[in-house]
Amino acid sequence: MRIRGQGSSSFGFDGQRQNSQRSERFRRAHRAGQKVKGTILEWHSPGLAWVDIDGHRLLAQVSQDSALGLERLFLIARLTPDIILREITNGGATKLDIVV
């Protein structure tokens, strides 16, 4: 699932530029293969939540059994062209495509 956006209902050039800047900051701070922890901040909809990973607020598909404030573990599968994270669960990794 590709998830895009900056957490507001405003769209347009400024939102796209901010989204691009957030993506670049995340790419500079991380590398593929790295495991990172993310904290669930708030639910967006069933199965989608805003997650904080190293100060980056991301919209991510997460297990529905996750509670607010719960920390989850993600594997950075790749950073380009899209940022692909895999939630690491007890049963193995689940593919999650996230574009910050």
Could you tell me the pTM of the whole model? Answer: 0.67
Query: pLDDT tens for residues 43-55?
Result: 998 878 888 998 8
Tracing tokens 């993310």 back to the chain, one arrives at 38
Strand 84-89 and strand 71-78: the pairing is antiparallel
Query: CA–CA separation, 44 vs 5, rounded Å?
Result: 12
The domain locations on the chain are 13-97
Q: DSSP character for 17?
A: H
What pLDDT is stored for residue 92 in this prediction?
Answer: 56
My answer on whether omega of the bond before 46 falls inside 30° of 0, hence cis, is: no
Q: What is the DSSP string of 65-97?
A: T--TT-EEEEEEEE-SSS-EEEEEETTEEEEEE
What pLDDT is stored for residue 4 in this prediction?
Answer: 46
Query: CA–CA separation, 98 vs 1, rounded Å?
Result: 7
Q: Could you give the 3-state DSSP secondary structure of residue 42?
A: strand
Query: pLDDT tens for residues 39-94?
Result: 999 999 887 888 899 888 887 778 887 889 989 998 888 899 888 878 887 655 55
CATH topology of domain 13-97: OB fold (Dihydrolipoamide Acetyltransferase, E2P) (2.40.50)
